[in-house]
Amino acid sequence: MRNRARRSLTRRLLRLLAGLLILLLIAAAAGAAWQAWAERRDAQVFPPPGRLLDIGGHRLHLHCAGNGTPTVWLEAGLGNETAHWSAVFDALAMRQRTCAYDRAGFGHSEPGPLPRSAERVLDEALRLLRASGEAPPYLLVGHSNGGAYVRLMAAAVPEQVEGLLLVDPSQTPADGCPPLPAPMRLSYGALVTLAPTGLPRALLPLLFPLDNSPLSPAAREVHAANRARAGALGALWSEVEQSCAMQASADAAGWVPGLPVEVLLSSRRPAQQDWVPEAAQAMAAGAGGKLVPIENSGHWIQLDQPQAVIDAVERLKQAAAARRSQAATVDAGGM
């Protein structure tokens, strides 16, 4: 009797587990269908403002407007896209050719190969530059982690770059990059793994609300839709994992001699980042450039104080023009 009771209990438990597994599979399939539908809907509701250019295997989104030289090239920060330049894009485009693009996986761009290493991102940016037909010279502007990417671009094509603007760029602590905390690795890893099921799409507004975002309401809607794509979550986590190596690559590339450089530094930051101003000063000095503190601004200076970015671009244009004039005078004297 006792053995029959155990066998009966075991069968009931197995049936229960099988039922739960079936329910989970149905929920996952329904979530995947919802995620796919939502991504198609978002693509229709929020079409890319620019062009999708094939760089070999996947397409990147590039938005350009305006006329005049040099061409301003805008590189967004970690997990950000062209929408994060919305407060300055039109104003810059009124003065010269201006381009902003989405790295693979972010914004309107298609996902690219993983991992998202500095070398891979640089290679894709250079291929996009060639595919775009946008003519040099370029004035490169990078926000946060994007600052390291434009530093790598400047080192790769120094003859095509006339200026470098780093908007509250990411810094490496003096004692090196600490390892990513285990809870962070676990939570981000779970979001990436579950992304195709649609669960992160439902959780993101709760985990990372945009209520206090400096983005405009319209740009906030675009970012909310784009960040929920499975490809965006995968790209974000890969760039997070590669951040220290990316900063090291930029430091190893060095600075282009004589290139006009400005570093804009935000005034509002967490107390645990009190070492950043000194590091930013050292960065500007190493580049032979200028550090410009920006009052009443958080990390997204281009959104909090857009005029500061516009003015900095204008100063760098003038510095580049003076550099060209000086070089022309020297050449003329040599002849």
State pLDDT tens for residues 162-197. Answer: 999 999 999 888 777 878 888 888 888 888 888 898
Task: Name the band, by pLDDT with cuts 50, 70 and 90, for residue 82.
Answer: very high
Report pLDDT for 156: 97
Query: Is residue 55 a contact partner of residue 111, using CB atoms and an 8 Å limit?
Result: no
What is the predicted pLDDT for the residue at 174?
77
293: three-class secondary structure by DSSP: strand
pLDDT value at position 279?
Answer: 93
Mean predicted confidence (pLDDT) in 264-288 = 93
Residue 107 scores a pLDDT above 60: yes
Q: How far apart, in whole angstroms, are the C-alpha atoms of residue 116 and residue 241?
A: 9
pLDDT surpasses 70 at 5 = no
Identify the residue whose tokens are 């190596």. 245
**pTM (two decimals):** 0.90
Is-contact 54 87, C-beta < 8 A? no
pLDDT of residue 333: 65
Give pLDDT, residue 37. 87
Task: Please tell me the predicted confidence (pLDDT) of residue 186.
Answer: 85
334 falls in which pLDDT band (50, 70, 90)? low
How many Cβ atoms sit within 10 Å of the Cβ of residue 96?
17
**Range in 180-184, 253-257, 287-291, 318-322 the model is least confident about:** 180-184
- Calculate ∠ Cα 280-281-287, nearest 5°: 90
Q: What is the C-alpha separation between 74 and 203, in angstroms, rounded?
A: 30
Give the pLDDT score at 142: 98
* CA separation for the pair 284, 129 (Å, rounded): 26
Q: List Cβ neighbours of 146 (8 Å cut-off, separation of 6 or more).
A: 75, 76, 77, 78, 80, 167
Write down the mean pLDDT value for the chain.
Answer: 91
Q: How far is CA 278 from CA 169, 265, 302, in A?
A: 13, 10, 21
Whole-Å CA distances, 82 to 14, 48, 85, 141: 51, 10, 5, 12
Give the pLDDT confidence score for residue 238 in this predicted structure: 95
* pLDDT above 90: residue 85: yes
